Amino acid sequence: WENRYWYTGTFCWWGGTTYSRANVPGPTSDTGWSLKFFE
**Domain spans of the chain?**
1-21+29-38
Q: Residue 4: what pLDDT?
A: 52
Which helix (H) or strand (E) element contains residue 5? none
Residues forming beta bridges with residue 36, ordered by sequence position: 12
pTM: 0.13
Give pLDDT tens digits for 1-39. 455 555 544 455 444 444 455 555 555 445 444 555 544
Q: Residue 27: what pLDDT?
A: 52
Residue 38 backbone class (left: φ over 0; alpha: ψ -120 to 50; beta: rest):
beta
DSSP 7: -
